[in-house]
Amino acid sequence: MGASHPRSEQHQYHELMAKTGFSLEQIKNLHIRFQHLSGNEETIRRKHLSSIPALANNPIKKEIIEAFFDKRNQHENETGSFEEIGFEQFLMVMSHFRPPTLRTKDEEREALRKEKLHFLFNMHDTDSDGIITLEEYRKVVEELLSKSGNIGQEAARAIADAAMLEVASTNAPDMGPDDFYEGITFEHFEQMLQNLELESRMHIRFLDVKTTTMHCGKATM
C-alpha cells in the first residue's frame, strides 16, 4: 500500500466505512493485515486462517474460523457458508467487535448488543436452524475443554447438561414430565446472557495508528 491510492479504492473505503463503522485508518490497517494473511491474493480461505501460528493454542479455533465464513454474519439474510471471503466480508465479521463509544445512545447500544449476541448464537448454532440443541451445546463445552485432556471430555457432558437444564428451568419452568425442550432459541440465549453486558465486553481494540503487523499497539477508538 503506497501513499497514492487509486480513486476507486478510496471510494471503496468510504463505502466500507459507512457500512461497518470503522474509521479510515482502521480499515487501512485491517486491509494490510488481510493482504498479509491472504498472501496478497484477493480472497482468504480457511487454510489461510488456520495457518496463523498463534491460533494453534486456541481451543475454539475451528469455530472462530468458521465464523468468518458463515454467511449469516454478513447480515444479508443468507445461510450457509462461503468457501472464500473477500476483504469486505472479512471487515463485516470484524465489525462485530467494535466497542460502543461515549456517544452511543441507548437504542444503538441495544442494537449493538443484539448484533454481538447474534454472532455468538451463530457460532453455537452450527446447523443454522435457529435453535441451539443439546448436542450443539455439548459440542461447545467439549471444544472449550478440549485442551484439558481426559478430565475435560468426561465432565463436558455433565456441564453442558446442567447448563441446558438451567436455561430450560428459567425459560420454561412449567414443563410437564413428557414435554421436550427443543433447544435454546435466540430469545432464551439473550435472556441467559443479559448480565454479561456484551456490548462492553465483546470488543477488541482496533489499531488507529499505522504500525506494521505483529506490533503491540497503543490503541484508541
Q: Which of residues 8-27 bind another protein (CB under 8 A)?
A: none
Should residue 195 be labelled a site residue for another protein when binding is judged by CB under 8 A? yes
Should residue 211 be labelled a site residue for another protein when binding is judged by CB under 8 A? yes
Report the half-sphere exposure of 102 (CA within 13 A, side-chain side): 2
Should residue 102 be labelled a site residue for another protein when binding is judged by CB under 8 A? yes
Joined together, the cell numbers standing for residue 195 give: 448480565
**Phi, psi (5° rounding) for residue 84?**
-145, 150
Residues 57 and 147: beta-carbon distance below 8 Å: yes
Should residue 209 be labelled a site residue for another protein when binding is judged by CB under 8 A? no
Should residue 45 be labelled a site residue for another protein when binding is judged by CB under 8 A? no
Should residue 112 be labelled a site residue for another protein when binding is judged by CB under 8 A? no
User: Which of 57, 118, 125, 142: binder of another protein (CB under 8 A)?
Assistant: 57
Size of the site for another protein (CB under 8 A): 76
As a whole number of angstroms, the distance between CA 48 and CA 57 comes to: 16
What's the min distance (Å) between Cβ of 74 and another protein? Answer: 17
Residue 185 burial (10 A CB sphere; 0-12, 13-18, 19+) = middle
Q: Which residues neighbour 22 within 8 Å (Cβ) at sequence distance 6 or greater?
A: 16, 30, 91, 94, 95, 98, 206
What's the min distance (Å) between Cβ of 152 and another protein? Answer: 6
What's the min distance (Å) between Cβ of 140 and another protein? Answer: 7
User: Which of 82, 84, 86, 120: binder of another protein (CB under 8 A)?
Assistant: 120
